[in-house]
Amino acid sequence: MVLKSILSFIKHTSIYAIGNAINSVLAFFLIPLYLRNLTIEEYGIYGLLIIVMQIVSRFGNLGIEASMMRSFYDYETVNNQGRVLTTSLSMMLTVLLVIISISVFLDELINDLLFSDNNYSNLILYSIIIGALRALRKLPQSILRIKNKSVLYTTLEVINFVVGLSLLIFLLEIKNYGLKGLIVGTLCSMIFNTVVFYSFVIKYYRFGFIISEVTKQLKFGAPLLPAAVSSLMFVFSGRFFLEHYHSLELVGVFTLLFQLAAMLETFMGQPIKLAWQPYFLKHFKENDSKNIFKNIVKIVAIASISIAICMALFAEPLFSLFAKPDYLQAVKYLPIMLIFYSLWSIVSIYNGGVIATRKTTFIMVNFFIGAVISLMLSWFLIPEYKVLGAVIALCLSYLIMFINIQWFNYKLGFDYADWKSHWIVYLIGAFYLLISTLFYGNTGVLIFLMRLLVVISFPVTLYIFGILSNKQLNQVKRLLKNRAT
């Protein structure tokens, strides 16, 4: 039974990973689409509009998605589980209606805060609605994850992405609508996305509310609201300071850099998160689960850093094929960003203890610490070091928050890391990511082959240090075999 459950986790993770990989390949074609049709200043404006989307999405979510998934497993009957879903949906719709109403009323103030010299009120309104829909669609996505409908989830995501990509190609390449086309296309695809997801999960809802769930879920999600604010502050403070001290062009460079690094989460972090949370909540109380979880953590960490190394080594030659010279400066900071993003992209797998014990106040405190550090470092570094200062501020915030998460979950009794080999993996990975910077500015067949050699040598180095040794792999096999019998 145990072996079956582990294989089930691997299967669903693989399905999510395949879907995300397909979307990532498609998303790769979005980058030249943006760069061909948007000036670097327009890309900077788009980077600030993303902040509006994220604010609405984070506030609208209010932790309801996570609390719904946690509460779902507290009930056994289909009727009560369906009522939990209805309660969560009603709460989120109420929150979103309030947020949209306030945002529409304050649209001019928001515009003045972001764009002091121009009026983008219409684009801000579209961005607000996009953010609300992003929050709303998380509920049906979570339901499909709970029901282990990984194939359906992945299929819908790919279909929705293809529809969105087609819309953007039409509006940007054919109609030449520029920034407005990008925002309108995103809005239309998000409406389609949300409707499609809800059409497949409506059958799981049941009429009625569980009043006690309102209090329970609000208590669970309330600390996530200031956490969302802090998260936005430390993620986007760099853009504000770059716009304030320098220009929208540098905001565009940093936005592109951030989106490139975030592709690591798309390749690795999202598939793991989608499969891990329901798997963890279902099995964490089982005997000897720690040994299985530790091996999962090690595999995930190595895979994440391996993908990061590939991205750092081959981003420049791929980018140089279509990017304007102004955009290429974003690539040279990518390895530094990926050192820390390889940690943060899979942070959900370390955070299981917080969710299981409902200690979400820690998330609020941790994000607040990250926000303060990021703001202070951004204020100090960006005036002098520009984009590099924003990268350093963000990366150090990620590192400190990641260490805090590991330490707190360890205190809760959820220790899933073999600390010695765990940090050796990250240190070796950081070394290889820094090596990749030596190849920047060089082209040719020999350089390409050397890049491949660096990729191949990473697992060899891990093997030399014993992290991928046959002895350890055999121990894992024996453990799985003993658990199965």
pLDDT tens, residue by residue, 429-452? 788 877 877 777 666 778 778 878
Confidence band for 1, pLDDT divided at 50, 70 and 90? very low
- 309 Cβ contact partners less than 8 Å away, ≥ 6 residues apart: 429, 432, 433, 436, 454, 455, 458
The yes-or-no verdict on residue 286 having pLDDT over 70 is: no
Q: Return the pLDDT at 20.
A: 60
The yes-or-no verdict on residue 352 having pLDDT over 80 is: no
Confidence band for 323, pLDDT divided at 50, 70 and 90? low
> In this predicted model, what pLDDT tens digit does every residue of 182-200 receive, in sequence order?
888 889 988 998 998 898 8
> In this predicted model, what pLDDT tens digit does every residue of 116-153 receive, in sequence order?
667 778 888 888 889 889 888 888 888 887 777 777 88
Alpha-carbon distance of 386 to 247, in angstroms, equals: 10
Q: Return the pLDDT at 29.
A: 63
Give the mean pLDDT of 347-376. Answer: 77
Give the mean pLDDT of 420-431. Answer: 76
The yes-or-no verdict on residue 227 having pLDDT over 70 is: no
User: Which tokens hold the place of 70?
Assistant: 């946690």
Confidence band for 9, pLDDT divided at 50, 70 and 90? low
Contact 68, 217 (CB under 8 A): yes
DSSP 353-382: HHHHHT-THHHHHHHHHHHHHHHHHHHHHH
Greater model confidence, 195 or 61: 195
Greater model confidence, 234 or 203: 203
User: Which tokens hold the place of 380?
Assistant: 């100090």
Greater model confidence, 272 or 334: 334
Confidence band for 21, pLDDT divided at 50, 70 and 90? low
Closest among 433, 405, 278, 391 to 346, alpha carbons compared: 405
Cα distances from 431 to residues 98, 139, 300, 458, in angstroms, run 48, 40, 19, 10
Closest among 14, 6, 69 to 294, alpha carbons compared: 6
- Beta strand extents in 234-333 (DSSP E only): none
Give the mean pLDDT of 12-26. Answer: 61
The yes-or-no verdict on residue 484 having pLDDT over 50 is: no
- Beta strand extents in 10-51 (DSSP E only): none
Contact 425, 462 (CB under 8 A): yes
This model's pTM is above 0.75: no
Element holding 405 (H helix, E strand): helix 361-411
Give the mean pLDDT of 341-363. Answer: 74
Cα distances from 259 to residues 27, 71, 243, 262, in angstroms, run 10, 33, 18, 5
Greater model confidence, 83 or 419: 83
Give the mean pLDDT of 412-418. Answer: 69
Angle at CA of residue 34, ends 28 and 37, nearest 5°:
145
b/e 412-446 (16+ beta carbons within 10 angstroms → b): eebbbbbeebbebbbebbbebbebbbebbeeeeee
Say how many Å lie between the first and final Cα of the chain, rounded. Answer: 9
Q: What percent of the chain has pLDDT over 70?
A: 74
Q: Return the pLDDT at 408.
A: 83
Q: Please state which of the ranges 3-17, 369-383, 467-481 shows the lowest mean pLDDT.
A: 467-481
Q: Return the pLDDT at 483.
A: 46
Q: Return the pLDDT at 17.
A: 61
- Residue 346: strand, helix, or coil: coil
Greater model confidence, 3 or 92: 92
Structure letter (DSSP) for residue 173: I
Q: Return the pLDDT at 293.
A: 73
Q: Return the pLDDT at 475.
A: 52
Closest among 242, 410, 264, 231 to 335, alpha carbons compared: 264
Q: How many CB atoms lie within 10 A of CB 290?
A: 14
What is the average pLDDT score of the chain? Answer: 76
Q: Return the pLDDT at 2.
A: 45
Residue type, 475: Q
The yes-or-no verdict on residue 252 having pLDDT over 80 is: no
Q: Return the pLDDT at 48.
A: 79
> In this predicted model, what pLDDT tens digit does every residue of 35-50 receive, in sequence order?
677 777 777 788 778 8
Our measurement of the distance from residue 234's CA atom to the centroid of its chain's CA atoms, rounded to an integer in Å, reads 15
Helices 270-283, 289-319: crossing angle, 10 deg rounding? 170
Greater model confidence, 336 or 266: 336
Cα distances from 228 to residues 231, 365, 367, in angstroms, run 5, 11, 8
Q: Of the segments 18-22, 273-277, 279-283, 370-374, which one has the largest average pLDDT value?
A: 370-374
The yes-or-no verdict on residue 364 having pLDDT over 60 is: yes
